Amino acid sequence: MVLLIVFGIDGIRSRRDLEEKDALLVDAQEAFVAKSQFMSVINHELRTPLASVKGAVSLINAGAVGEVPEGFRKMLDLAERNCDTLVSLVNDLLDAEKLDAGKMDFDFVKMELEGFIKDEIARHQPYADALGVNIEEARVDAGLAVEVDRKRLGQILSNLLSNAAKFSHSGGVIRVGAEKRDGQAVISVQDFGVGIPEEAQSKLFDRFYQVDSSSEREKGGTGLGLSIVNSIVAAHGGRIWVDSIEGKGSTFYVGLPLVP
Ligand code: ADP
């Protein structure tokens, strides 16, 4: 009798559990579809017009319609910078969506890191200059060959270098290197800026995480960059990690498999 009651109650409980699980599954599917539709709207209705606004502002700024009075130039510069911020936010959102859905395409090619590091330093120096920061080449071992999507590895460096510049003090230095370690190629980006509190370091690669997420924070950003970098590094069979001391600076490391 007691057993019957127990089985009976269990039967009801498991049926209810199943119904609840079904309902949750339907909710999750609907949320997934809604998210895909939202991302499609972002892609078509936001990215395309944004690109044309940015194009028009850049053309006017470059003098395509004649001399721009000084007062207007400041406004146009601001508009262009804000367009860039929006474009990179939209691109980050779309990249995050692609990575979540396993739909990011990678064009893997064999490449040596020596030239790549030099190119990336030159590409990012103007951005660092604007913040009064200098990018230096640290130790770069010769002959480090990796199989990577060059554009995506450039995106990783862009993220790490722009963070390093953003969180450095004016007059500071960033050091970029690449060494062979434990059979891996390890790229390092070191800054001597504000550093990262120990309790925050394990959360840095979570989506939307920012150490200072208050609305009064000085630096812009969304907390998406490092989570995207983390997924792209993983797609290369690599690993990213950080060493940091608050108040002294941070070093981000990207370890990639070496190829013969
Ligand atoms: P975003 O820079 O857009 O906020 P990220 O994902 O690139 O997003 O970085 C997340 C957070 O990690 C930043 O908001 C910042 O708090 C911290 N961070 C990243 N890089 C550095 C760095 N080099 N020095 C200090 N803090 C950093």
Task: Please give the chain's pLDDT, 260 residues, in tens.
Answer: 444 444 455 555 677 777 787 778 878 888 777 877 887 787 778 888 888 999 999 899 888 888 888 888 888 888 988 898 888 888 888 899 889 888 899 999 999 999 999 999 999 999 999 999 999 999 999 999 999 999 999 999 999 999 999 999 999 999 999 999 999 999 999 999 999 999 999 999 998 888 876 654 566 778 899 999 999 999 999 999 999 999 999 999 999 999 98
What is this model's ipTM? 0.97
| pLDDT value at residue 17 | 79
Q: Give the residue whose CA is nearest to atom 21 of ligand 1.
A: 163
Please tell me if the CB atom of residue 159 comes closer than 6 angstroms to any atom of ligand 1.
Answer: yes
Please tell me if the CB atom of residue 222 comes closer than 6 angstroms to any atom of ligand 1.
Answer: yes
Q: Looking at the CA of residue 213, tell me the nearest atom of ligand 1.
A: 14
pTM: 0.82
239, exposed or middle or buried, with CB in 10 Å at 0-12, 13-18, 19+?
middle
Contact (Cβ atoms closer than 8 angstroms) between residue 250 and residue 243: yes
Please tell me if the CB atom of residue 249 comes closer than 6 angstroms to any atom of ligand 1.
Answer: no
63, exposed or middle or buried, with CB in 10 Å at 0-12, 13-18, 19+?
exposed
Q: CA torsion, points 54, 59, 60, 62, in degrees to nearest 10?
A: 120
Q: Which residues pair with 256 in a beta bridge?
A: 185
Q: How far apart are CA 125 and CA 134, in angstroms?
A: 7
Q: Give the residue whose CA is nearest to atom 19 of ligand 1.
A: 163
Contact (Cβ atoms closer than 8 angstroms) between residue 93 and residue 42: yes
Q: Give the residue whose CA is nearest to atom 13 of ligand 1.
A: 210
Measure 241 CA to ligand 1 centroid, in angstroms. Answer: 13
Exposed e or buried b per residue across 135-160, where buried means at least 16 C-beta atoms within 10 angstroms of its C-beta? beeeebeeebebebbeebbbbbbbbb
| pLDDT value at residue 12 | 58
Exposed e or buried b per residue across 20-37, where buried means at least 16 C-beta atoms within 10 angstroms of its C-beta? eeeeeeeeeeeeeeeeee
Tell me which H or E stretch contains 114: helix 113-130
| pLDDT value at residue 4 | 46
Contact (Cβ atoms closer than 8 angstroms) between residue 87 and residue 51: yes
Measure 223 CA to ligand 1 centroid, in angstroms. Answer: 7
Pocket test for ligand 1, best of 157, 163, 202 (most atoms within 8 A of CB): 163
Token pair listed for 207: 């989506």
Most distant CA pair in the chain, distance: 94
